[in-house]
A and B are shown apart, each in its own frame.
Chain A
Amino acid sequence: METSIEVKDLTKNYGEITAVDHINFEVRKGEIFGFLGPNGAGKTTTIRILTGVIKPNSGTAAIMGYSILKEPLRAKQIISVVPEMANAYIDLTAWQNLMLIGELYGVPKRKRQERAGHLLKEFGLHERRNHLARGFSKGMKQKLILCMAMLTEPQVLFLDEPTGGLDVESARLIRDTIRQYNKDGTTVFLSTHNMEEANQLCDRIAIINYGRIAAIDSPENLRMESSSLKSVEISFNKPVPVNELSKISNVAEAKKIGDKIRLYTDEPHSIINNLTDYARSKGLTIVSLNTLAPTLEDVFIKLIKEHRGD
């Protein structure tokens, strides 16, 4: 399969701090690639290297075969960026911002005007096209930035926390748009804290911590490989001491979650019998009983802890 982004041994130091530490990965053409990690893990630094904003100390990165270090202008011509911090020109109107981006990417005048009109309508900003971005809400600014990124019809789109701090409706619109453009052939590199967003959107996910890649796989495979995170969630008609349930065989850990108790195990089916026996012996009624696959958040926390050596 064709590669859109190729990263080899990429390293970035800020003084004595290594923000990105010899990372390697490939993003396939046409996929949505999630980049997850806690704050300060190296996500934004990686994006800023890949988009040519900063230079790495060592290693290489190529976008559609163009080295971001040796051929930065060619590489930048085929990408667009939605940075973490809103940065449309607030003293320009929405329309002027879009025209500026079109000119910076060499989009012909007629085409940039057509695209801008279409995108502003798609994002519900057309009525406000002649208003200064200064007066826009956070959601409107984020939509404008996405319009600016999509105006150039990029082959690869970098999004750094694109829905952070947005209301549910705006976040959903942006997620739907990402899906739509990806369907139309745009490769998407998405950095996010939002596990559910990554789960819904991404074909594959890389988890980064302390500047190193902890895992790369599809969300489903990551969940399945973390068998120790499978669990059974149970609730009884009366309160039950959690430590009693943790003594049941094959239960690795028991946690009280609201009115339920979650029992982590790599053999969920085998402990169901033990739980019914326990309920019978204590005269309890089982109100609900569910087997759960690990969530992406569980996998993320586990990998980060393992990586940290907890």
Chain B
Amino acid sequence: MPEHQFLEQLKRAFAIAKKDLHIYYKRGPVVIFGLIMPFFLFLAFSIGRNMPIEQLFTGLVGMAIFFSSMSIGPAIVPFEARSRNLERLVSAPVAVWAILIGDIIASFLYGLLISIVPLIIGLVLGVTITNPLFLCLGMILAAFCFASFGVLLSAYPPTDIPSTVMMISNLVKFPLVFISGVFIPIWETHDWGRIVASFSPLTYFTDLVSYCTQGTSYYSVFVDFVALIGFTLLFLIAAIKIHEKTLPERL
């Protein structure tokens, strides 16, 4: 694809992202599964445990960015298939990858904005961020990675029932939270726990936040970044390929 055509498609992806943010940020499933549920889950695991503030902060930022970045993405395609808006988008001169990038950008921006709240709370409560640059880069990368993961989760089955996708998405999200060092640092888990954790993209983000706030991490910063980039590419390519294949079944 020529460069000017690629940039033109990217501009159209941003138009889709703008539309998504307008429409979906206040939808029930997005608010419930993206904000309320992770907040109470965090409270349930943190209240009464004598955890250092830096460890709580790592968990809170990890939960916020993970759940909020994955809250809009899975809902968009089934919602729009049902309302027949997807057909409108597909008949427009916008490539399928650009439609999905638009959805991912919306989820990414939403996740990033929401996760600024725990970041501010942490700073107010006295958390020291030793490496703000790595933390910011990590948050941007993680939000994009989880947003891509969210859109991937809506690819199969090609349903137009949003609750089906949200259910599948939660089936995947919740186990990942428990194995990714959000509540217990992975260096404190068993060997098998660490092996399982290595398959979760959230592990590398919480590890990175831990490094930026507590100065300790299980993996090196380089490994954390490479893993997040690798997972992002994997989710992005898989989401585009699978959606391209299943899209006709939704129309």
Contact = CB atoms under 8 A, between A and B. Distances in A.
23 contacts: A51-B91, A53-B87, A55-B248, A73-B94, A76-B92, A79-B91, A83-B84, A83-B87, A87-B84, A89-B23, A90-B83, A92-B22, A92-B23, A96-B19, A100-B15, A103-B11, A104-B15, A104-B16, A104-B92, A104-B93, A105-B93, A106-B11, A106-B93
Interface in A25-70: 48, 51-55
A287 B88 CA distance: 55
Contacts of B92: 76, 101, 104-105
Query: Interface on chain B toward A: helix, strand, loop, or mixed SS?
Result: helix
Nearest to B9: A73
Given A53-B90, A53-B91, A91-B23, 14 more contacts: A48-B87, A48-B251, A53-B251, A74-B93, A76-B91, A76-B92, A77-B93, A81-B91, A83-B91, A87-B85, A92-B23, A104-B15, A104-B92, A106-B12
B88 A87 contact: yes
A104 B85 contact: no
A87 B19 contact: no
Q: How large is the interface on A (under 10, 10 to 19, 20 to 34, 35 or more residues)?
A: 20 to 34
Which of B22, B23, B84, B88 is packed against the most chain A CB atoms within 10 Å? B88
Contacts of B12: 103-104, 106
Interface of A: 48, 51-55, 72-74, 76-77, 79, 81, 83, 85-87, 89-92, 96, 100-101, 103-106
Interface of B: 5, 8, 11-12, 15-16, 18-19, 22-23, 83-85, 87-95, 248, 251
Given A81-B91, A91-B23, A92-B22, A54 B15 contact: no
B88 A83 contact: yes
B251 A73 contact: no
Contacts of B91: 51-53, 76, 79, 81, 83
Contacts of A100: 15, 18-19
B25 to A, nearest CB: 11
B83 A54 contact: no
Contacts, number: 69
Contacts of B90: 52-53
Contacts of A90: 83
Nearest to B83: A87
Contact of A54 (B5, B18, B22, B248): B248
A34 B84 CA distance: 24
A166 B235 CA distance: 45
Contacts of B87: 48, 53, 83, 87
B124 to A, nearest CB: 35
Nearest to A47: B91
A191 to B, nearest CB: 14
- Minimum-distance CB pairs A-B, first 5: A103-B15, A76-B93, A87-B84, A77-B93, A104-B92
Contacts of A106: 8, 11-12, 93
B95 A92 contact: no
Contacts of A86: 84
Contacts of B88: 81, 83, 87
B83 A92 contact: no
Contacts of A85: 84
Nearest to B23: A91
Nearest to B86: A87
Contacts of B23: 89, 91-92
Contacts of A52: 90-91
Contacts of A105: 92-93
Contacts of B16: 104
B84 A73 contact: no
Contacts of B84: 83, 85-87
A54 to B, nearest CB: 6
A47 to B, nearest CB: 10
A105 B88 CA distance: 12
A115 to B, nearest CB: 16
Nearest to A89: B85
Nearest to B99: A104
Contacts of B94: 73, 104
Given A104-B12, A106-B11, A73 B83 contact: no
A72 B97 CA distance: 14
B1 to A, nearest CB: 9
Contacts of B89: 104
Contact of B19 (A74, A77, A89): A89
Nearest to A96: B22
A96 to B, nearest CB: 7
